[in-house]
Amino acid sequence: MAVELNKAVADFQAQATSGVEVRLSELKGKQVVLYFYPKDSTPGCTTEGQGFRDQYPAFQAANTVVFGVSRDGLKSHENFKCKQEFPFELISDKDETVCQLFDVIKLKKLYGKEYMGVDRSTFLIDANGVLRQEWRGVKVPGHVDAVLAAAQALNKG
């Protein structure tokens, strides 16, 4: 069953960069930003990741951890993370478990071809594991600032 606003998010675990196993239940006490993006090292995804990178100290100050999520493998993620100097981990969701939980796989069109792909989306989960805000069909410019403002407001309670 997909996530719903103001409801607890089902626990999940997933492999991430740096050999990290991300488990939502182990992040209690911290706010969590999960941003789903289509593909490593593509222009929009790079710009979005750089935005989260550049604002990362402000997210940390707001008691918020950030994870990028895509269907790319760990090797691709490690290269992307290293090249862009991301201070946060990237979750590899090759089997789409996390993507399905957050309902971000959508029918997309590119050059007249239809395919199932990741709809750029971001989710803010509070320190108790409850989904507090979601952004779907994200446009990159200004997005990270909006997420940060929501995380800061939520952290102030």
Confidence (pTM)? 0.96
For residue 2, pLDDT beyond 90: no
**Averaged pLDDT for residues 19-26:** 97
| 20 half-sphere exposure, CB direction, 13 A CA radius | 16
Other C-beta atoms within 10 Å of 62: how many? 20
- pLDDT computed for residue 136 by the predictor: 97
Q: Which 8-state DSSP code applies to residue 142?
A: T
Catalytically annotated residue among 16, 45, 66, 91: 45
C-alpha–C-alpha distance, residues 144 and 51, integer Å: 6
pLDDT digits (tens, 9 = 90+) for 136-146: 999 999 999 99
For residue 16, pLDDT beyond 90: yes
- Is 45 noted as a catalytic residue in this protein? yes
CATH class of the domain comprising 13-156: alpha beta
